[in-house]
Structure 1
Amino acid sequence: MFSPQGPSLRELAVQALSSVERGYDLLAPKFDHTPFRTPDGILDATLGVLRPLGPFGAGLDVCCGTGAGMRVLGPLCAGRITGVDFSRGMLAQAAEAHPDAEWVQADVRALTFSGEFDLAVTFGALGHLLPAERPPIFAGVHRALRPGGLFAFPLGAPPPLASAQYWAMLGFDAAMRVRNAVWRPPFVMYYRTCTLGALRDDLAAAGFAVTTAPMASLGRRRDGTPRYRLVLARKDADGPG
């Protein structure tokens, strides 16, 4: 799973016993050499779906990590591109890799942007958010967008009940709940809390009109359904900024 440049088992154990913020500060220098970094294939598929919907002005990557989302925002946005994350370590890596972008250290549960962006994206961050935290985050993204602005993120299809992936995800979530019950600070990372129905409801409650688009380049499952969809949450063009 990891390249020789990736973290050791000891480093991963220390991260797992830290808070989310501290854990990612520690992991940041080696994060891009782990499978936790969003693969280029998903980034490129996102770009392919969004390109016909642009061009866009300013772009925002929510929970930007080391800046992988700039692979999407850079080609699409004619204006400034900004990444926001709470990990100082991750932002340092992002700034080194993408010096032309803006980087903001902030808690995404309390975003202060207002009507500044035309496109917002997020990659691989939703599992770090408890369901109760999504409404204020989505409300903050809605507020950060200009009227007509778009919030987009990829979402994988749920694995079949009989698949090894399903049981691996179930086991991981169970282990994480046990860990957080007996150890502080908590480390939030759950794979099974981000269903399309729940996300659609939370986005709609924040004021978005929600659709999805298949990410065709990532293939289809045996039943013919897409392996991934891009969630497209649009702010009302006629609403207040």
Structure 2
Amino acid sequence: MSAPEGPTFRELAVQALSSVQHGYDLLAPKFDHTGYRTPASVLDSVTGALRGLGPFGSGLDVCCGTGAGMGVLRQVCRERITGVDFSAGMLAEGRARTPVAPDAPRTDWVRADVRALPFGPVFDLAVSFGAFGHFLPRELPGLFAQVHSVLRPGGTFAFPIGAPARPGSRHYWELLAFDTAMRVRNALWRPRFVMYYRTFRLAEVREELLRAGFEVELRALEELGRRADGSPRCRLVVATRPV
């Protein structure tokens, strides 16, 4: 899962036996050399879709990590972009890698728990990439309510969600094995490390977004292809706070 510059097996093991926050603090310097970083193909496809919905004034990257989503916001927001994460290590890496350009929007990095966002309704766009596996299903209503609260009326919350692995496929069994291992680990070890790949299901996510007060639209990310049955491999969830 990692490039040669990425973490060793021992480093990943130490991370996995830590809390989520401390684990990412440890992983931060090598995070971008792991398979956990959102692929460029996904980032580019989402950027293209958001260009068709924008431009936007201010943007928020929810659970920004080292800033992959900040690169998307930088291309579609005119005024200001903000990354929020609870890992100081990940924020430090993101801040250090922020390109300096005279025409770039103002960029801020904020350490906070996204379940209690320290902002008012000041954003036109919120995005998130690859972070939802760190939240238990019972936490999604509160998380979505927080994002809803920091968007201006008419604001958009957008994120990609991949098609589920086909039952019986190799990918299906790999994800099942990973989630099972994490559940066993969390039953036997403290602090917990919440990271599950099979708990963020589109139908349930859509229902929770509606409950939080969003209007929800799904858009196929055509650049990422379609499966044999014609369904998209990845969709962009576009949740709008009504005016």
What is the TM-score normalised by the length of structure 2? 0.96
2:31 aligned residue: 31
CA RMSD of aligned residues (A): 0.8
Aligned-pair distance for 1:91?
Answer: 0.2
1:111 aligned residue: 117
- 3-state SS of the aligned residue for 1:57? strand
Contact 1:113 1:140 survives alignment (8 Å):
no
- 3-state SS of the aligned residue for 1:188? coil
Contact 1:112 1:140 survives alignment (8 Å):
no
- 3-state SS of the aligned residue for 1:79? strand
For 1:169, give the aligned amino acid.
L
2:7 aligned residue: 7
Within 2, Cα distance between the matches of 1:124 and 1:112? 22
**Given the alignment of the two structures, is residue 146 of structure 1 paired with residue 152 of structure 2, yes or no?**
yes
2:75 aligned residue: 75
1:214 aligned residue: 220
Aligned-pair distance for 1:112?
Answer: 2.4
Within 2, Cα distance between the matches of 1:18 and 1:202? 30
**Seq. identity, %:** 63
1:53 aligned residue: 53
- 3-state SS of the aligned residue for 2:55? coil
Aligned length: 237
**Given the alignment of the two structures, is residue 157 of structure 1 paired with residue 163 of structure 2, yes or no?**
yes
Within 1, Cα distance between the matches of 2:49 and 2:78? 17
Aligned-pair distance for 1:123?
Answer: 0.2
Aligned-pair distance for 1:115?
Answer: 1.1
Aligned-pair distance for 1:113?
Answer: 1.3
Q: Runs of 5+ in structure 2 lacking a partner?
A: 100-105
- 3-state SS of the aligned residue for 1:2? coil
**Given the alignment of the two structures, is residue 183 of structure 1 paired with residue 189 of structure 2, yes or no?**
yes
| Cα shift readout 1:127-174 (whole Å, capped 9, x = no counterpart) | 000111111111111010000000000000011112100111111111
What is the TM-score normalised by the length of structure 1? 0.97
Greater Cα shift, 92-101 or 201-210: 92-101
The runs of at least 4 aligned residues of structure 1 exceeding 6 Å deviation read none
2:142 aligned residue: 136
Within 1, Cα distance between the matches of 2:206 and 2:58? 24
1:199 aligned residue: 205
Within 2, Cα distance between the matches of 1:184 and 1:176? 12
- 3-state SS of the aligned residue for 1:118? strand
For 2:190, give the aligned amino acid.
R
Within 1, Cα distance between the matches of 2:132 and 2:237? 12
Within 1, Cα distance between the matches of 2:88 and 2:67? 13
| Cα shift readout 1:42-95 (whole Å, capped 9, x = no counterpart) | 000101111111000000000000001122100100110000000000000010
Contact 1:82 1:101 survives alignment (8 Å):
yes
For 2:132, give the aligned amino acid.
L
Within 2, Cα distance between the matches of 1:136 and 1:111? 11
Q: Runs of 5+ in structure 1 lacking a partner?
A: none
For 2:231, give the aligned amino acid.
T
Within 1, Cα distance between the matches of 2:58 and 2:79? 4
- 3-state SS of the aligned residue for 1:201? helix
Contact 1:83 1:102 survives alignment (8 Å):
yes
- 3-state SS of the aligned residue for 1:13? helix
